[in-house]
Each structure stands twice: as structure tokens, then as C-alpha cells.
Amino acid sequence: MMSNELGKNAQIFSDHICAGLEAGGLDPDDYAMSVITDRETGEMGFLMSQVPMAEICDEHLHQPVVCWEDHVSWPSEEDAAHLAINEQQPASKCAVLFLGAILTGGTLATPKCPECEE
């Protein structure tokens, strides 16, 4: 499990990801998880790869994601929209979306901002 330095939602996301990977027979350490700090805001976030580090190559990128207190972001994508964390879509539900993709050998695709697509 990740450090208590994370806020409540990021910690919940982290806990669900780690428990789900372990329940699925996967090692959370393979997903390059770490706690990071936003340089502008000082907010702590949970960074992870959606692909085991040993499987990353030019054709199978790791698609990193960061869970912050109020959203999940794709830091490698400039125009990506965020996945909101709120009462209707709590951190636990967001984590399950990623677990579903990871446990079936995929990744959760980067959502594109509808305004940026126009």
C-alpha cells in the first residue's frame, strides 16, 4: 500500500488498485507505483503504470496515470480529459475501471477532451 501522505481519495484508489492486483495474482510492484507531488500545487498524487514494467516496449507503452484528490489524469497525453472523482464516481469506482482493464491485459484509454477534438 502507498504512503499516508496521499489524500483520502488517492489513498482509496491506491488501496483498491493494490488489493485488486494482488487478488488477481499480480504483483503491484510490477506497476511502478509511487507517490508524486504536483510542482505547482504541492498536491500529492498516486502514479502508476497500467502495464507491468517488464512488458513495456515501443509497441506496448505503459500508459501512466495519476490519481489526485478530485480526478485521475494521463500525464503523457497533452489533450487528455480527466476522469472525475466525486460522489457519483468515487475513487473506488475509478480504481475498478483501471483494474478491469489491467486484469484483462489492456489499458484504460486516454479520454480526449471534447472541446479539444473540435
pLDDT of residue 5: 85
Q: For the chain, first and last CA: distance in Å?
A: 40
Q: Which residues of the chain have pLDDT under 70?
A: 1-4, 58-62, 79, 112-118
pLDDT of residue 2: 47
Amino acid code (one letter) for 50: Q
Between CA 45 and CA 28 the distance in angstroms is: 17
Q: Three-state DSSP class for 44?
A: strand
Assessment of whether the complete model's pTM goes beyond 0.75: yes
